[in-house]
């Protein structure tokens, strides 16, 4: 592992900054978001209980009432999931895109289970009340108004949930997974008519009906506004095009972008955008890619590693190709920093958000220690830029190259561990440092465990995740 450096950009002098106040405000907003999400589910149940339609006087009525309650809570959770996936700037600034999507995924199974229970319990409850079999009751329900759409909605949700299972998710190409998950919007829309036409709780004339319609408008409206309209307006305004594509390694390349007033995007070092390149074979898929250089008024740069056909096709983009985008996103920025000292760990293409983060980091000489990890020299992408930055700014930059070690410091190379390098020796001030961690999940998991064991607090570790 070797220290190094040389670059023409000097970090501005450090000012006295109250870094705790923004953290407290962000934590308060996060608590309010969580409280609001669960309160909406509780309110869905409370509104049902207030209707006087709950009947526990017989087995059939009790099963039916529980089934209705399950459907209302499940529907509410699905709407919360849509809001979390809408890329709303206020939510991103509070918890970050990756945590919002983690919460979105965590609600998937409970919401689906409740909706499945809703369908099963209502069918059983109605069959008991009618004295018919479950099969004949299902046929009767299917022939009712709007119920084919309800069954279609449930079937689409089954497809979404199955493709979200880890064993299936990891085997699917992103493009196929993405198409299937677009069906979740169709599932929500398909499920609404039967709620309005079949359910007594949302019957015309009840005040619950406009309340639930408003929830759907907010959830679906958020998707339209923040995932369609807002990106479209920004893309037209900033007129981004591909300027050139530069090969920097056998399996990696930088895309240089040109545009208008790109510095007004408000992007901070370490953030990413969803980029859509309007070229054959790539136009239909938006790529989440971090900026490797913070945008200036006329230019920006992203760096991509070839991980499949989708990213490989980007290396063939021609100058002048139009680009639309959504963003910026993520809390892998200096905004979450609380300590004077900073430790940075990056592996492979994880160096890209790190470079843009460091380029605007307000720190004194010697306060930042960076280590880049690669299986071989070719995986130390943009290493020379990192060396230059460290040299000019008086920071420490190291690299750890070779096969991974085993044991507590498994994020380092076996060669470095064999000669006595440890997490604590690289970062002796972890207890008083903010830690920025970016790289493939397996490596990052090992690094996070080692950092915690070496004295870092979980709250001080800021991690950029690559999973989808």
- Structure confidence at residue 54 (pLDDT): 77
Range 197-207 average pLDDT = 69
Q: What is the CATH number of the domain that holds 96?
A: 1.20.120
Q: Are residues 75 and 99 in the same domain?
A: yes
HSE toward the beta carbon, residue 368, CA cutoff 13 A = 30
- Structure confidence at residue 189 (pLDDT): 79
Q: Are residues 196 and 75 in the same domain?
A: yes
For the segment 336-361, what is each residue's pLDDT rounded down to a tens digit? 888 899 999 999 888 999 999 998 88
DSSP 340-395: SEEEEEEEGGGHHHHHHHHHT----TTSEEEEEEESSGGG-TTHHHHHHHHHHHT-
Three-class SS of residue 247?
strand
As a residue count, the chain comes to 468
For the segment 267-288, what is each residue's pLDDT rounded down to a tens digit? 888 999 999 999 988 888 888 8
DSSP 388-451: HHHHHHT-EEEEEESSB--STTTTSBHHHHHTT--HHHH-TTGGGEEEEEES-HHHHHHHHHHH
Range 367-374 average pLDDT = 92
Q: Is residue 222 part of a domain?
A: yes
Q: Are 347 and 401 in contact (CB under 8 A)?
A: no
Q: Are 101 and 85 in contact (CB under 8 A)?
A: yes
The range of the structural domain enclosing residue 196 comes to 20-231
Q: Is residue 344 part of a domain?
A: yes
Q: Are residues 47 and 111 in the same domain?
A: yes
- Structure confidence at residue 126 (pLDDT): 85
φ/ψ of residue 256, rounded to 5 = -90, 125
Could you report how far apart the first and last alpha carbons of the chain are, in Å? 32
What distance in Å separates the CA atoms of residue 72 and residue 195, rounded to the nearest whole number? 9
pLDDT band at 6 (very low <50, low <70, confident <90, very high): very low
- Structure confidence at residue 255 (pLDDT): 95
For the segment 128-167, what is each residue's pLDDT rounded down to a tens digit? 888 888 888 888 888 777 788 888 888 888 877 777 665 5
- Structure confidence at residue 160 (pLDDT): 77
Q: Is residue 4 part of a domain?
A: no
Whether the per-residue pLDDT at 127 is higher than 60: the answer is yes
Q: Is residue 14 part of a domain?
A: no
Task: Look at 3-17, 221-235, 435-449 and tell me which has the smallest mean pLDDT.
Answer: 3-17
Q: Are residues 194 and 118 in the same domain?
A: yes
- Structure confidence at residue 96 (pLDDT): 86
Q: What is the CATH number of the domain that holds 356?
A: 3.40.50.80
Q: Is residue 153 part of a domain?
A: yes
Among 309, 329, 349, where does a domain finish?
A: 329
Q: Are residues 98 and 124 in the same domain?
A: yes
Q: Are residues 81 and 134 in the same domain?
A: yes
Among 214, 231, 248, where does a domain finish?
A: 231
Q: Is residue 2 part of a domain?
A: no
Q: Are residues 183 and 62 in the same domain?
A: yes
Q: From residue 267, give the alpha-carbon distance in Å to each of 65, 172, 330, 332.
A: 50, 31, 10, 11
What distance in Å separates the CA atoms of residue 168 and residue 294, rounded to the nearest whole number? 36
For residue 290, what is the enclosing H or E element?
Answer: strand 287-293
What distance in Å separates the CA atoms of residue 217 and residue 214, rounded to the nearest whole number? 5
Q: Are residues 63 and 175 in the same domain?
A: yes
Q: Using N-to-C axis directions, what is the helix angle for 208-224 and 59-84, rounded to 10°?
A: 30
pLDDT band at 254 (very low <50, low <70, confident <90, very high): very high
Q: What is the CATH number of the domain that holds 253?
A: 2.40.30.10
Structure tokens at 462: 């800021």
Residue 351 region, left (φ>0) first, then alpha (ψ -120 to 50), else beta? Answer: alpha
Q: Are residues 110 and 156 in the same domain?
A: yes
Structurally, the chain folds into a number of domains equal to 3
User: Smallest Cα–Cα separation from 269: which of 344, 366, 157, 347?
Assistant: 344
- Structure confidence at residue 177 (pLDDT): 67
pLDDT band at 413 (very low <50, low <70, confident <90, very high): very high
- Structure confidence at residue 18 (pLDDT): 62
Sign of CA dihedral 91, 94, 97, 102: negative
- Structure confidence at residue 172 (pLDDT): 64
- Structure confidence at residue 13 (pLDDT): 47
Whether the per-residue pLDDT at 2 is higher than 50: the answer is no
For the segment 286-315, what is each residue's pLDDT rounded down to a tens digit? 888 999 988 999 999 999 998 877 788 898
- Structure confidence at residue 466 (pLDDT): 55
Q: Are residues 209 and 75 in the same domain?
A: yes
- Structure confidence at residue 164 (pLDDT): 67
Strand pairing category for 287-293 and 252-258:
unpaired
φ/ψ of residue 5, rounded to 5 = 155, 170
Q: What is the pTM of this model?
A: 0.82
Q: Are 122 and 68 in contact (CB under 8 A)?
A: yes
Q: Are residues 247 and 363 in the same domain?
A: no
For residue 287, what is the enclosing H or E element?
Answer: strand 287-293
What distance in Å separates the CA atoms of residue 342 and residue 269, rounded to the nearest whole number? 15
Three-class SS of residue 431?
helix
What distance in Å separates the CA atoms of residue 355 and residue 94, rounded to the nearest whole number? 23
State the chain's maximal CA–CA distance in angstroms.
82
Q: Is residue 3 part of a domain?
A: no
Strand pairing category for 341-347 and 368-374:
parallel
- Structure confidence at residue 3 (pLDDT): 39
Whether the per-residue pLDDT at 41 is higher than 80: the answer is yes
Range 445-466 average pLDDT = 87
- Structure confidence at residue 139 (pLDDT): 85
- Structure confidence at residue 161 (pLDDT): 75
- Structure confidence at residue 468 (pLDDT): 47
- Structure confidence at residue 168 (pLDDT): 56
Q: Are residues 58 and 105 in the same domain?
A: yes
- Structure confidence at residue 130 (pLDDT): 81
Q: Is residue 369 part of a domain?
A: yes
């Amino acid at each position: 592992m070797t220290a190094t450096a040389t670059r023409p950009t000097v970090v501005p002098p450090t000012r006295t900054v109250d870094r705790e106040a923004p953290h407290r405000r962000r934590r308060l907003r996060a608590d309010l978001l969580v409280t609001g999400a669960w309160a909406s589910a509780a309110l869905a149940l409370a509104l049902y209980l207030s209707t006087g339609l709950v009947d526990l006087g017989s087995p059939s009525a009790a099963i039916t009432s529980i089934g209705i309650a399950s459907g209302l809570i499940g529907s509410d959770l699905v709407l919360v999931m849509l809001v979390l996936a809408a890329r709303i700037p206020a939510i991103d600034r509070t918890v970050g895109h990756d945590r919002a999507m983690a919460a979105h995924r965590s609600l998937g199974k409970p919401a689906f289970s409740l909706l499945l229970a809703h369908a099963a319990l209502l069918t059983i409850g109605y069959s008991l009340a009618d004295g018919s079999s479950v099969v004949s009751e299902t046929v009767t329900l299917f022939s009712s108004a709007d119920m084919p759409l309800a069954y279609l909605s449930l079937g689409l949700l089954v497809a979404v949930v199955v493709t979200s299972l880890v064993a299936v998710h990891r085997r699917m190409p992103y493009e196929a997974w993405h198409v299937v998950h677009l069906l979740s919007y169709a599932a929500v829309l398909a499920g609404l008519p039967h709620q309005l036409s079949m359910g007594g709780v949302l019957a015309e004339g009840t005040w619950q009906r406009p309340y639930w319609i408003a929830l759907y408008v907010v959830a679906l409206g958020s998707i339209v506004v923040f995932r369609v309209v807002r990106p479209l307006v920004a893309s037209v305004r900033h007129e981004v095009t591909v300027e050139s594509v530069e090969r920097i390694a056998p399996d990696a390349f930088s895309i240089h972008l040109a545009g208008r007033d790109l510095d007004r995007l408000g992007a901070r070092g370490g953030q990413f955008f969803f980029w859509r390149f309007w070229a054959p074979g790539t136009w239909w898929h938006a790529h989440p890619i971090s900026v490797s250089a913070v945008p200036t008024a006329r230019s920006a740069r992203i760096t991509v590693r070839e991980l499949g056909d989708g990213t490989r096709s980007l290396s063939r983009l021609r100058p002048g190709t139009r680009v639309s985008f959504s963003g910026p996103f993520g809390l892998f920025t200096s905004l979450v920093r609380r300590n004077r000292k900073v430790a940075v760990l990056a592996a492979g293409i994880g160096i890209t958000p790190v470079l843009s983060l460091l380029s605007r980091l307000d720190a004194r000489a010697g306060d930042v220690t960076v280590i880049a990890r690669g299986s071989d020299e070719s995986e130390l992408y943009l290493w020379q830029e990192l060396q230059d930055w460290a040299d000019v700014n008086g920071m420490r930059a190291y690299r750890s190259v070779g096969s991974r070690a085993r044991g507590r410091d498994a994020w380092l190379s076996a060669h470095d561990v064999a000669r006595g390098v440890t997490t604590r020796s690289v970062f002796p001030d972890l207890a008083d440092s903010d830690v920025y961690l970016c790289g493939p999940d397996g490596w990052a998991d090992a690094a996070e465990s080692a950092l915690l064991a070496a004295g870092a607090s979980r709250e001080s570790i800021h991690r950029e995740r690559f999973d989808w």
